[in-house]
Amino acid sequence: MNLNWSPAQWLSVLLKYGIPESSLSGRPTACPVCGGKDRFTYDNKRGRGDWVCRHCNDGSPMAGDGLQLICRFTGLSFAALAREIEGGKPVCLVPRALRVAQPKPAMSGEAKAKRIERVWSRASPLAPGDAAMRYLAARVPGLVAPRPTALRLAAMDYRHEGVVYGRYPTIVAQFTLPDGRMATVHRTALDPAKPAKALIVTADGEVLPAKRNDVTAHPLAGGAVRLMPPRDGVLGVAEGLENAYAAYMLFGVPTWPCLNRVLLSRFVVPEGLGIHTLHIFADFDEVDPKTGKSPGMADALALAKRIRGEGLTVHVHRPMVRSTDFCDQWLTASRLQDIAGKQAVCA
């Protein structure tokens, strides 16, 4: 299908299929798919009806072209949409939310808590050589760290909108609130054959996120995945799991992942652990032209200001290179070390 349409043509097609005009202004607005406020932007930056939602459906970023947006909004398959656009037999264009005659009742907080406890209890502790340990060793070469009690491994079905897209080895991370309650479990689906995240693609060509939270039994603000115990009153926090391990390898600071930059900014130092110093390992994102700020750095600095106000010592760290994180920095350092070792042997 030829998608080399003018901006006016893209707007016309998207409006025809029911995308609200307010969502197509080019400014952050409510997402027509998940409904989240100020998280969706239609920018058409490649001339393909391009858009991004920073926190769509399961909490992960989502982006795509105009046809993917129509499919997600209406529930049409890509094939059905292509037939319609190319002049085939018309299909019903009722948005997905309106086509559900009897929506599933919302889960109670108690049911959500039981669900995440069930997922956690059915997963197994990590063991040398298992899929999780191989993945972490590939992402953070040379990793030597305390074996985490907050990570487990399970074989889990990957479900998306009621469809199972396969069964994958899955890292299950226990997300704990400051008061010790488990709020959710974060899942990373892994490739069954190689140490990498799983590539999961729908029949319409949509690439699904390998990393997702399960249901949330409690609000997540303040929590983290407690990878390792603080040492001598010192703790670090980072956005992602791999970043936390890379920061530990680079700085020797026990580090907890908060899963994303927003939750990092809302982290609360738990009481009773004797923590007096917090290291914040920020992602060094590109500057957002709309705000003039690097999102990862801005959230890290906001956390630092709040924690200093509580009387703790705070150190903020960022990678040396823009558009990288500490996992990138560790990989570079590891590769340079390998090159230096090989040169020494040759000499």
DSSP assignment letter at 22: G
HEC profile of 297-341 = HHHHHHHHHHHHHCCCEEEEECCCCCCECHHHHHHHHHHHHHHHH
Average pLDDT taken over every residue of the chain: 87
- How high is the pLDDT of residue 20? 86
pLDDT in tens, 31-83: 888 777 778 899 988 888 888 888 775 566 788 888 888 888 877 777 777 77
Q: How far is CA 229 from CA 46, 236, 249, 311, 332, in A?
A: 46, 10, 15, 21, 27
Q: How far apart are CA 136 and CA 151, in angstroms?
A: 11
Q: Which tokens in the block code for residue 256?
A: 């907890």
Asked whether residue 91 carries a pLDDT value surpassing 60, the answer given is: no
Q: Which residue has the higher pLDDT, 105 or 94?
A: 105
Asked whether residue 98 carries a pLDDT value surpassing 50, the answer given is: no
Mean pLDDT of the region 325-340: 85
What pTM was estimated for this model as a whole? 0.69
For residue 172, is it left (φ>0), alpha (ψ between -120 and 50) or beta? beta
Q: How crowded is residue 121: how many other Cβ atoms within 10 Å of its Cβ?
A: 8
Asked whether residue 99 carries a pLDDT value surpassing 70, the answer given is: no
pLDDT in tens, 101-156: 344 567 788 899 999 999 999 999 999 999 999 999 999 999 999 989 999 999 99
pLDDT in tens, 151-203: 999 999 998 888 888 999 999 999 999 999 999 999 999 999 999 999 998 87
Q: Please say whether the beta carbons of 182 and 116 come within 8 A.
A: yes
For the structural domain made of 224-332, what CATH number should be given?
Answer: 3.40.1360
Give the residue extent of every domain in the chain.
7-99, 109-213, 224-332
Q: Please say whether the beta carbons of 53 and 31 come within 8 A.
A: yes
Cα angle, residue 267 at apex, residues 261 and 271 outer, rounded to 5°: 165
Asked whether residue 89 carries a pLDDT value surpassing 50, the answer given is: no
Q: Which residues pair with 255 in a beta bridge?
A: 236
- How high is the pLDDT of residue 25? 87
In which element (H, E) is residue 155 found?
Answer: strand 151-160
pLDDT in tens, 221-230: 999 999 999 9
Q: How far apart are CA 186 and CA 256, in angstroms?
A: 13
Mean pLDDT of the region 250-272: 96
- Identify the sign of the CA torsion 76, 82, 83, 87: positive
* Strand-by-strand arrangement of the 40-42 sheet: 40-42, 51-56, 60-64
Asked whether residue 95 carries a pLDDT value surpassing 60, the answer given is: no
Confidence of residue 340 (pLDDT cuts 50, 70, 90): low
Mean pLDDT of the region 238-266: 96
By mean pLDDT, which of 53-67, 86-100, 206-220, 248-262 is the weakest? Answer: 86-100
